[in-house]
Amino acid sequence: MPAPPSPPSAAVSGRRLLKSTTMVGGMTLLSRLLGLVRDIVFARLFGAGFLMDAFFVAFRIPNIFRRWSAEGAFSQAFVPVFADYDQNRPPQEVRELVERVTGTLGLALLVVTVAGILAAPLLIMLFAPGFAAATTDAARFGLAVDMLRLTFPYLFFISLAALAGAILNTYHRFGVPAFSPVLLNVIMIVFAAFLAPRYERPGMALAAGVFAAGVVQLAFMLPALRRLRLLPRPRWGARHPGVRRIMGLMVPAIFGSSVAQVSILLDTLIASFLVTGSISWLYYADRLMEFPLGIFGIALATVILPNLSRQHASASREAFAATLGWSIRFVVLISAPASVGLVVLAGPILATIFYGGEFSAADVHMAGYALMAYGGGLVALTLVKVLAPGYFARQDTRTPVRVGLIALGSNMAFNVLVVVPWALGGLPAPHAGLALSTSLSGFLNAALLYRGLRRDGVLSAPAALGRFVLRVAVACGVMALLLVAFTPPLEHWLAAGLAKRCLWLALIIAGAVVTYFASLLAVGLRPAEFRMKTPVPPV
């Protein structure tokens, strides 16, 4: 068999990182836009009540396991080891690692999938105990169980697709993995809009769409692997040294990479005891918060992990620090104004995108509270996505574990201190307290990760960083004043037609973007500050 292509150089420039991030971000933007279309279909056809609460739980459970077993922990453990093999081992050993990992992961996933299908009632009781807490929710509990038995196999297919994507990303073939989620959204739109209305139980059609999307996403990856000459023949390899290294890194990485998902899981668990609709309101708010997070934070993290891994494998310390520092500045530059926009425009955004059909004005208000709380933590949650690869690329999973556990514990404490009194006091929208707790724990997570990188000497603290952050803060303040001054009250948005709402939102966002970047120029920030030159490591 011919050898795989030569590995990319470990040297990287800011322009190259920006180009790769822009490409991945563009694909992610397309996926997120289609995801919004999908959620609009959900909101307009099914609202935020009984059926969607059950579906979101049934969809979230395999996604939580996916983040633990594949896309998050596995990818962050696999990419550094695979990059090391690809940089320093002969091609036959690279291929053997791929085959052993595929066979071992595939069999483990098959066992977990079968167990998940059989244990669906227990999983629903574990992840949404409020569904089984009252006899009035018996129908919702039964529907969630039936849907979970269809959605859970998604874990098997999407996890293997994540393995394929990790291989492609290591070779800088970012396009195919970034485009794959587009297929998920297209398929789910088709099932929701055209098949669900024909079902006696429309929720089952939504669940079937999840299953079909997993199969299609995996199939879509295979031709790209074949072109790399790395299409695997799965073989069991639990004793293979590379597999053992990956598994050793993966177990603690589960905690370090999935704190946000565990926080959302806890939110779902608590929300299942709140008023009907709470889970759906949190879902719609989280989806809008994930929009900029996915385009900028996750896209950049996807690009820098293989670059950092190669830089570490080739002992290019200066390049490693330069890549990580550039990424942090870029994240702050983009996520800070996005955070301000989500907080100030929460109601108008929800009214423009979801309002209508079964999604009422009350739903807009309730989801708006959650979006403001999530939006306030966007910078921290995005920084976590970029800071964590600074540890995983060096095959250090212990520190993110420790930090993740601290952040998770703080999230639980915030839930007790904020949400419980909020709900027991009869105050409106206690579900927003769950989102606020997630944001607060995100800030703690990011701060501890940053401090650890500084302590390890991996990340330098240039004197210009504080000045850069101050300039961004000033620009965000000017933009916020503009938004508050020129955004019509929410009642006007709800009374306006869809076309007028879209026009208003487009004009306001365009004005905010121009104001933000004009303010940055006015306070002295120049594009030249984002140029990054790193030395080529010795061969």
DSSP string of 309-373?
Answer: HHHHHTT-HHHHHHHHHHHHHHHHHHHHHHHHHHHHTHHHHHHHHT-BTTB-HHHHHHHHHHHHH
Which range, of 166-175, 326-335, 437-446, 480-489, averages the lowest pLDDT?
Answer: 166-175
Per-residue pLDDT, 539: 28
Per-residue pLDDT, 444: 93
Under the banding of pLDDT at 50, 70 and 90, the label for residue 14 is low
DSSP state of 89: S
Question: Averaged over 30-57, what is the pLDDT?
Answer: 86
Question: Averaged over 466-474, what is the pLDDT?
Answer: 91
Under the banding of pLDDT at 50, 70 and 90, the label for residue 535 is very low
At residue 11, does pLDDT exceed 70? no
For the stretch 188-231, pLDDT in tens is 999 999 998 888 888 899 999 999 999 999 999 999 999 988 88
Per-residue pLDDT, 240: 93
- Neighbouring residues of 423: CB distance < 8 A, sequence distance ≥ 6: 274, 430, 433
Under the banding of pLDDT at 50, 70 and 90, the label for residue 1 is very low
Question: Averaged over 441-459, what is the pLDDT?
Answer: 89
Under the banding of pLDDT at 50, 70 and 90, the label for residue 536 is very low
For the stretch 415-443, pLDDT in tens is 888 888 887 887 888 889 889 988 998 89
Q: How far apart are CA 82 and CA 25, in angstroms?
A: 24
Question: Averaged over 436-453, what is the pLDDT?
Answer: 91
Nearest residue to 62 via CA among 116, 139, 129: 116
Let me know: does 379 contact 469? Beta carbons within 8 Å.
no
Question: Averaged over 457-471, what is the pLDDT?
Answer: 78
Per-residue pLDDT, 345: 96
**Average pLDDT, rounded, for the chain:** 84
At residue 401, does pLDDT exceed 80? no
Under the banding of pLDDT at 50, 70 and 90, the label for residue 17 is low
Report pTM. 0.70
Let me know: does 140 contact 131? Beta carbons within 8 Å.
yes
For the stretch 97-138, pLDDT in tens is 999 999 999 999 999 999 999 999 999 988 888 776 655 556
Per-residue pLDDT, 428: 83
Q: What is the dihedral of CA 525, 528, 532, 535, to 10 degrees?
A: -140
At residue 258, does pLDDT exceed 70? no
Q: How many C-beta atoms surround the C-beta of residue 293 within 10 A?
A: 24
Percent residues over pLDDT 90 in the chain: 37
Which range, of 58-67, 133-142, 310-319, 371-380, averages the lowest pLDDT?
Answer: 133-142
DSSP state of 215: H
All structural domains of the chain with their residue ranges = 14-461, 464-527
At residue 480, does pLDDT exceed 50? yes
Let me know: does 169 contact 305? Beta carbons within 8 Å.
yes
